[in-house]
Structure 1
Amino acid sequence: MTVEYGPLTIGDADRCAALEAELFPGDDPWPAVAFIRELESAHNHYVSARLDGELVGYAGVSRLGRKPPFEYEVHTIGVDERFQGRGIGRTLLDQLLAIADGGDVFLEVRTDNAAAISLYESVGFTVLGVRKRYYRVSGADAYTMRRVAGKEAR
């Protein structure tokens, strides 16, 4: 299996929305127009994973602030369920962290998403707190996590 990584494009918005609906059905998945808006923003950076030309994963991060030192926020990471557990999500996250270039990085993750939490902790994220009912539709809680610049896991 050879996965190719590169930029996410506006042409990927419909496939991203379809994956969101499969991956996050009870948590207000993003429609295609949300991906288009995100991709059009100069401070957002989105990456893709493709297998034989098919989009199987996507991830995005946003730079926060107007002046250095910048902070970053992971907006989303999604991998087609058929291809989870093969390192695609980790590679996408590594690419986001490279874009962040040493800045502090924040994210929110469902408190019951053990696989994602484990991935984030493995690269140095720690839990800062809980956002109650963060996910509007399901009412699920989320951890706010942060990876401090220079504090990557060893």
Structure 2
Amino acid sequence: MATSLRKFKETVEMRAGFFHRVRTHRHFSTGLVLAVFVIVACIHVWQRVHVIRLSQQVGALREENRNLIDATKKVRSEVAALSMGSRVESYAADSLGLLPVTAERLVIIDRDQPTKEVKADELGTVLSSIKRVSDHLPVLSEAQAEPAEFQPIRFDSLAEPEAEP
């Protein structure tokens, strides 16, 4: 009878599931604790690497922010220097040949004052003046236009006219 019981026990162990056999192994608890420890250690190392990478990115972004603030300050000071009234006046006088406005040439328009309505006869006078001026303007059709007739626009009224070849 001892032999039949032994055969039955071995067949039961063979039929038992893989997980049941692993759980009943004598080193299962030690292996499980070791596996959990290794997993926790890997997560801790990954977390530290991730934190270090993020701190490097924060440092780079702070440096970039500091550089952008410096660039903004430089641009603002440059704009302030370029938009100074005395600089604009000297540029207008030297390059463009403009003169300061005198009291006789200064016209002040009051926005609060109601605008003067244009009468029909004044409008007719303006239109006839424009028509007379337009009659004296040269007319050039597409057939008459040639590329050699292009004349450059002079922006500097004080500049010497260029000698044509």
TM-score by length of 2: 0.16
Pair member with larger Rg: 2
Indicate the structure with greater helix content: 2
Indicate the structure with greater strand content: 1
